[in-house]
């Protein structure tokens, strides 16, 4: 008997209140899945379109997302109501975005460093958490722009990262729900399973293989890169779950139906794009991050 059949048999044998609770939970899960799909069908094309356009459009989206990450991080860590902390951080991310639009990466980094100092000085006992939140959002902002900056390979590199993260999440969700089995890390994320982690990992290899078909002679490196970013993406998800659990928070917000908040939706991408930007920078320099990732 499979796990699904066993669950149905238990539900049929249960008293009426338990049956009703089981049916309600199943219905809620179905509604949540529908909301996740609808939100993804709306948000994913917008992200892809702006990524394709690049330049100011992509940088503005990234800057808004970074501000959302920072504000939600502060809310999770119970500092979000302190305007003296929120203000300097948001201002730094916004000014850094303007610097990135102008092509002044150096100026953007200086502004972010000043913002981090200001946040640390104004956040009192939670200064470590507040500063970490700004650095987390700032790293995501700069890395996302650097990966797309390369005119030759930037869009392809960014799509590689996005698709690896997306299919890791989707593959993990469906593999975890359909297969179940041993939990990955109950104390941090009670719903995640090893089956889901492996399913997401396998899906990422399919994406990498698809990209490799258009990159002659680079199959093995891209498969390794896809595998690495998939693992990093899942670790980023677990990291965010650990932060929320530390402060007793379930969702960072409810701004995205079925997904929670910006932090909930982008945790895996943040980790993956930061690692991707570092690898691309090491191999291709600041203006060749995309080539550094995709050309081997």
Same-domain check for residues 121 and 176: no
pLDDT of residue 31: 67
Same-domain check for residues 133 and 226: no
The encoded tokens of residue 296 equal 């081997």
Domain that holds residue 81: 55-142
Q: Is residue 31 part of a domain?
A: no
Sign (positive or negative) of CA dihedral 251, 137, 51, 242 = negative
Same-domain check for residues 113 and 163: no
Q: Is residue 187 part of a domain?
A: yes
Q: Is 185 helix (H, G, I), strand (E, B) or coil?
A: strand
Same-domain check for residues 158 and 106: no
Domain count, the chain: 2
pTM: 0.86
Same-domain check for residues 133 and 235: no
Q: Distance between CA atoms of 294 and 296, rounded to whole angstroms?
A: 6
Q: Distance between CA atoms of 77 and 248, rounded to whole angstroms?
A: 9
Same-domain check for residues 132 and 154: no
The encoded tokens of residue 63 equal 């800057």
How far apart, in Å, are the Cα atoms of 35 and each of 128, 227, 236?
Answer: 35, 29, 23
Q: Is residue 1 part of a domain?
A: no
Residue-level pLDDT, tens digit, the chain, 296 residues = 444 444 445 445 545 554 444 444 455 556 666 776 777 788 889 999 999 999 999 999 999 999 999 999 999 998 878 888 999 999 999 999 999 999 999 999 999 999 999 999 998 888 999 999 999 999 999 999 999 999 889 999 999 999 999 999 999 988 888 888 889 888 888 888 999 999 999 999 999 999 988 865 578 999 999 999 999 999 999 999 999 999 888 877 777 665 678 888 899 999 999 999 999 999 999 889 999 999 98
Question: Last residue of a domain, which of 98, 124, 142?
Answer: 142
């Amino acid at each position: 008997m499979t796990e699904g059949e066993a669950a149905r048999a238990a539900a049929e044998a249960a008293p009426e209140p338990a049956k009703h609770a089981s049916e309600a939970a199943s219905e809620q899960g179905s509604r949540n899945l529908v909301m996740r799909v609808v939100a993804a069908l709306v948000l994913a094309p917008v992200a892809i379109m702006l990524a394709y356009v690049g330049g100011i459009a992509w940088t503005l989206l990234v800057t808004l997302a970074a501000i959302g990450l920072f504000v939600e991080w502060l809310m999770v860590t119970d500092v979000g109501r302190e305007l003296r902390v929120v203000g300097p951080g948001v201002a730094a991310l916004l000014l850094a975005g303007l610097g990135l639009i102008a092509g002044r990466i150096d100026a953007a980094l200086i502004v972010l460093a000043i913002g981090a100092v200001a946040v640390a000085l104004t956040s009192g006992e939670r200064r470590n958490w507040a500063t970490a939140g700004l650095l987390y959002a700032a790293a995501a902002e700069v890395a996302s722009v650097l990966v797309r900056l390369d005119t030759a390979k930037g869009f392809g590199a960014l799509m590689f990262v996005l698709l690896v993260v997306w299919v890791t999440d989707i593959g993990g969700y469906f593999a975890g729900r359909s297969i179940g089995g041993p939990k990955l890390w109950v104390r941090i994320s009670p719903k995640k399973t090893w089956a889901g982690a492996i399913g997401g990992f396998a899906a990422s290899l399919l994406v990498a293989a698809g990209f490799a078909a258009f990159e002659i002679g680079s199959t093995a490196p891209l498969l390794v890169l896809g595998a690495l970013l998939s693992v990093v993406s899942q670790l980023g998800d677990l990291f965010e779950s650990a932060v929320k659990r530390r402060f007793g928070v379930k969702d960072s917000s409810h701004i995205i139906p079925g997904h929670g908040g910006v932090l909930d939706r982008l945790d895996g991408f943040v980790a993956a794009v930061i690692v991707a930007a570092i690898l691309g920078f090491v191999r291709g320099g600041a203006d060749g991050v995309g080539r550094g990732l995709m050309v081997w």
